[in-house]
Amino acid sequence: VRTMPERVGGALMENAITRLYLVRHCQSMGNLQNIFQGQHEYDVSPVGEQQLALLSLRFRNIHLDAIYSSPLQRAAKTAEAINVYHNLPITPLDDLMEIDVGELEAKPLGDLPALYPVLSRHWNETPQDCVFPGGESMRQVFERASSALRTILAESAGKTVLVASHGCLLRSMACALLYGTVGALPQVVLSGNTSVSEFEVSASGVRVVRMNDLSHLPPELLGDPHQYDLKK
């Protein structure tokens, strides 16, 4: 059990255990085309549709009290697939949107190391120092991920809640939950499409049940785990 970071712990009720699921969106057309998506809208790919069908089945018999989602359609459709067997209201939060990568949005991932060598090195080695020209910094994303986490935990104390969002945002949220500082980002791995992370959260600490689990997918639907490694 990890000690609850103070910045998050203030949102919790004594003796209440909250079960928190963090789920990354399914494969999008941007993922398929190897594009740096940012906040650009891309629809679900054919593989993504298959991933959603299996993700929906995974959560069929798991009790959920609340579902939160990024408003971007690849995350919203992921939340809707999970909700097929639950019929809950889905709460969209702008703070759950993916990072705004500014000038890099919609550019091919393979072109970025040559076009933005310093930024690419930070992304790979010290992501907490990334600042995207015309967009956000990772520190800004960490702050809004932390804000969303506090809101969700305060509204769902003692319940089971699911968050459908994006790789960079969920990485920041898990970092806030487990470490409370953006400097720990290198210790948190970027998750794969429809990966499921599960935590038990209370005022006394955080227990990691599973991280980035993709056991609901067969090998042919896993995708490339190193897609966002910006290396030459």
Instruction: Give, in order, the Cα–Cα distances in Å from 207 to each of 91, 156, 166.
Output: 25, 17, 22
The identity of residue 121, as a single letter, is R
The two tokens of residue 111 are 């072109």
**Catalytic residue from among 25, 40, 63, 122:** 25
**Catalytic residue from among 40, 122, 166, 216:** 166
The two tokens of residue 189 are 């791995």
What dihedral do alpha carbons 194, 105, 144, 179 form, nearest 10°? 60
Q: Is 106 exposed, middle or buried (0-12, 13-18, 19+ CB in 10 A)?
A: middle
Nearest CA among 162, 206, 199 for reference residue 180: 206
Q: Is 97 exposed, middle or buried (0-12, 13-18, 19+ CB in 10 A)?
A: buried
Q: Is 25 an annotated catalytic residue?
A: yes
Beta bridge partners of 86: none
Known catalytic residues are 25, 166
